[in-house]
Chain A
Amino acid sequence: MKQFLTFVQKEFHHIFRDHRTMLILIGMPIVEIILFGFAITTEVKDSKVVILDSSHDVATRHIIDEINANKYFNVVEYIHNSNDIQHIFQKGEATLAVVFEDHFYETLLHTGKAQIQLIADASDPNTATTVTYYANRIIADYQQTLMVQNNVPYQITPNVKLLYNPEMKGAYNFVPGVLGMILMLICAMMTSIAIVREKETGTMEVLLVSPIKPIMIILAKMVPYFVVSCFNLCSVLLLSVYVLGVPVAGSLFGLILVSLLFIVVSLSLGLLVSTLTNTQLAAMLVSGMVFLLPVILLSGMIFPIENMPVWMQWLSDIIPAKWYIQAVKALMIQGLGIMNILKETGILVLMTIIFIVISLKKFNVRLE
């Protein structure tokens, strides 16, 4: 046991003496939580609009004022020729063009029908749909005011209730995602590198001939990263509760328990990577690059998994972060109890066992 503790101490020295890495290990989660909490939003705001209005009458002016006053839009230019639109889009100077028919109000009064064209730059389909939707709503509102005298019959009012997150805060979705990403990357990347470095610099040989058991060497390498991860877990949770205002609605105990489990999963994944690679470069690239995009994309952090094709959904099932993020969402945001995340917990435990069994089988006590 004393030997083991000495080894753990050695590993702590490894980390603490490299100030720059230490700073990043501790600072990365904080910066990311702040970025995700305040800077990154899937909402579409302040879209630039150009307007082609040759009639300049009451109706068009009213609609233009409404568009300009809307927080989603910002009228940047009035144009006089519809051929300019293509070029404006190509330069990226606007995302929506609103084109009024000539003699708009007159036509509307006399024929009871007038036309508005909404031309969107659909190279970003999400923004295009959203801005078209908002513009449509502004026009529909104006139409309502036109009809204000006629009491519209057969009105079904939809009462909308947004469960768990009534203000539609992006942070509610991102915090679990950031937690999953940080823990996964730090644990998996750090352990794999720490082990492979000993191989590469040749110090593994020294360790293997020492009286301590190989399994103890590995465990000793994991302990410091476990501690750092726990620290990160605390900082992310504290920041999200006190700075972002994302509450822990469910059981805090369950949340910590499942997070600890996830840290263990990631550590064992790191161990697995380290037994499969021989150079630091390869280990880093595998854990850093090959894990980075899948964790962001396939874990449901930014893009909802339900929208993906079925084969992608199966693929996402092998990403441990996906299960962890689901469990955190259930506990933290939806306020459910531990009983609701038994499936996720079970899968994570199973993954840990698989990773550890493979790594132990592959772990070479002897050097080739």
Chain B
Amino acid sequence: MLKYLIEKEFKQIARNPFLPRLILIYPLVVLLIFPWAATYEIRNINLCVIDNDHSTYSQQLTDKTVSSGYFRLTAVEPTYTQAMQQIASKRADVILEIPPHFERDLINQQAAGVLIASNAVNGSVGGLSSEYMSEIVTDYSSQIRQEWQQTGKGIPPAPTIEVISQNRFNPFLNYKLFMIPAMMVIVLTIMTGFLPALNIVSEKEAGTMEQINVTPVPKFTFIFSKLLSYWIIGFFVISLCFLLARIIYGFAPTGHLSTMYAFTGIYILAVSGMGLVVSNYSDTLQQAMFVIFFFMMMLILLSGLFTPVNSMPQWAQWIAAFNPLKYFIQVMRSVYLKGSGFLDLIPQFSALAGFAAFFNLWAIISYRKSN
């Protein structure tokens, strides 16, 4: 009986004019486009310089800033007001103002100041760009100090702590490698979480549910056939994602494929179960769509996809502990980048298995053949 039910599911999907194309094209588009968009790497910050000193030092400082690779000199303005105009019209992001007598003060009084003003509408970008700029300025001052030391003015050397930083697993800090595994999770979630949610409801709306209800199919078998179909689709989608990551980005997992497939299997059960529960409780497609959309939005935002979960306040971390996406994103990232094995990820596996059991039991209990 199960075999025919699954055959029915696949025929229903294949004969829909839209779904087969969606299943093929959506992963492609997501993996091809979005890793390029999701990046915090800050480069090419537009810089506006106000040089009130016009000295060798002020010129050197400007040159050093531009050659750092982070900044792009887009404007030179005579006054602060005019520079603010540049910021308002988005032609500049950061202002560097060098005060008059900068060089003279530095030589005579051994100290001088500069003003760095950055557009902080996006707080983290504004903060980072001003930090980069401060670092360049500090660097420049130690560069001058060294030049003076070499001329032998007798400045004592200070004890130095040498800091060596090492970036494990992703030495070139490639942000795409971080986003691609997580993007796969999103694709899989949408394919195996959204679609089952819409599935039962659309049978209700089309009236075909009525027909199933009068057949001898037990409810467990019926739910199971739906689950199994999405399970197969899910495996197809995730394999497609692995393949695309390999072909487009030359990105192969450090860990074992088998670990990822094992987690994929349990994860699909969890999200499909969630989708089925929603569809059992909804009367119309529109309702189902909105409810799942609402939850999906929250789950994605609290999953650590874009922002680290550890930085959230405690209450939000508690909510995130009930988020299957969070665990699967952790798993995919660890296996892809760090080569974590199954044994390292036991907590995540038990959490996902718990979700899968919970949602599917709920789905079976809440599905009623009689109205």
Q: Which of A121, A165, A296 contacts B168 (CB 8 A)?
A: A121
Is A309 located at the chain interface by the 8 A CB criterion? yes
B113 touches A157 (CB 8 A): yes
Is B24 located at the chain interface by the 8 A CB criterion? no
Closest to B61 in A: A156
The stretch from A139-147, A220-228, A255-263 touching chain B is: A139-147
Is A212 located at the chain interface by the 8 A CB criterion? no
For residue A8, give the distance in angstroms from its CB to the closest CB of chain B: 19
Is B209 located at the chain interface by the 8 A CB criterion? no
Residue with the greatest number of chain A CB neighbours at <10 A, chosen from B19, B169, B284: B169
Q: Mark A129-144, 1 if CB is under 8 A from B, else 0.
A: 1001100100100110
- Whether A20 contacts B287 in the complex (CB less than 8 A), given A43-B311, A44-B311, A162-B127, comes out as yes
B285 touches A146 (CB 8 A): no
A41 touches B175 (CB 8 A): no
B340 touches A91 (CB 8 A): yes
Which chain A residues border B175 with CB–CB below 8 Å?
A: 125-126
Q: Mark A17-48, 1 if CB is under 8 A from B, else 0.
A: 01011001101100110011011111111111
Is A242 located at the chain interface by the 8 A CB criterion? no
A42 touches B286 (CB 8 A): no
For residue B118, give the distance in angstroms from its CB to the closest CB of chain A: 6
Which chain A residues border B213 with CB–CB below 8 Å?
A: none
- Whether A114 contacts B190 in the complex (CB less than 8 A), given A35-B301, A123-B169, A334-B121, comes out as no
Q: Which of A42, A128, A153 contacts B167 (CB 8 A)?
A: A128
- Whether A169 contacts B334 in the complex (CB less than 8 A), given A32-B297, A289-B26, comes out as no
Docked CA distance A360–B165 (Å): 60
For residue A101, give the distance in angstroms from its CB to the closest CB of chain B: 9
A170 touches B33 (CB 8 A): no
Apart from A293-B34, A303-B38, what 9 extra A-B contacts exist at CB < 8 Å?
A: A21-B286, A39-B315, A40-B306, A89-B169, A112-B160, A116-B164, A118-B163, A297-B37, A334-B88
Q: Which 3 A-B pairs have the closest CB atoms?
A: A168-B123, A122-B167, A39-B316
Q: Count how many chain B residues have C-beta atoms less than 8 Å from C-beta atoms of the other chain.
A: 116
Docked CA distance A149–B88 (Å): 45
Docked CA distance A117–B178 (Å): 23
User: For chain B residues 21-61, which have a beta carbon within 8 Å of chain A?
Assistant: 22, 26, 30, 33-34, 36-46
For residue A58, give the distance in angstroms from its CB to the closest CB of chain B: 13
Q: B residues bordering A, Cβ < 8 Å?
A: 16-19, 22, 26, 30, 33-34, 36-46, 87-90, 93, 106, 110-127, 130-131, 133-134, 137-138, 140-142, 144-145, 148, 155-171, 173-175, 177-178, 186, 190, 194, 198, 202, 282, 284-287, 289-291, 293-294, 297-298, 301-302, 306-308, 310-313, 315-316, 319, 330, 333-334, 337-341, 344
Residue with the greatest number of chain A CB neighbours at <10 A, chosen from B112, B161, B190: B161
Residue with the greatest number of chain A CB neighbours at <10 A, chosen from B116, B118, B133, B167: B167
Which chain B residues border A279 with CB–CB below 8 Å?
A: 18
Closest to B206 in A: A200
Which chain B residues border A285 with CB–CB below 8 Å?
A: 18, 22, 194
Which chain A residues border B46 with CB–CB below 8 Å?
A: 306
A308 touches B110 (CB 8 A): no
B34 touches A123 (CB 8 A): no
Which chain B residues border A31 with CB–CB below 8 Å?
A: 294, 298
Docked CA distance A313–B281 (Å): 42
For residue A93, give the distance in angstroms from its CB to the closest CB of chain B: 9
Closest to B34 in A: A297
Q: Which of A118, A156, A164 contacts B137 (CB 8 A)?
A: A156
A162 touches B173 (CB 8 A): no
For residue A285, give the distance in angstroms from its CB to the closest CB of chain B: 6
Docked CA distance A214–B246 (Å): 50
Is A119 located at the chain interface by the 8 A CB criterion? yes
Which chain A residues border B287 with CB–CB below 8 Å?
A: 18, 20-21
Docked CA distance A342–B57 (Å): 41
A163 touches B87 (CB 8 A): yes
Docked CA distance A350–B88 (Å): 24
- Whether A42 contacts B307 in the complex (CB less than 8 A), given A150-B156, A164-B119, A340-B88, comes out as yes
Q: Mark A83-98, 1 if CB is under 8 A from B, else 0.
A: 0011101111000000
21 A–B contacts from the bound complex (CB under 8 Å): A38-B313, A90-B341, A112-B160, A113-B159, A119-B166, A120-B166, A122-B171, A123-B334, A124-B333, A128-B167, A154-B111, A155-B110, A162-B126, A167-B123, A172-B121, A281-B202, A281-B285, A292-B297, A297-B38, A307-B42, A326-B90
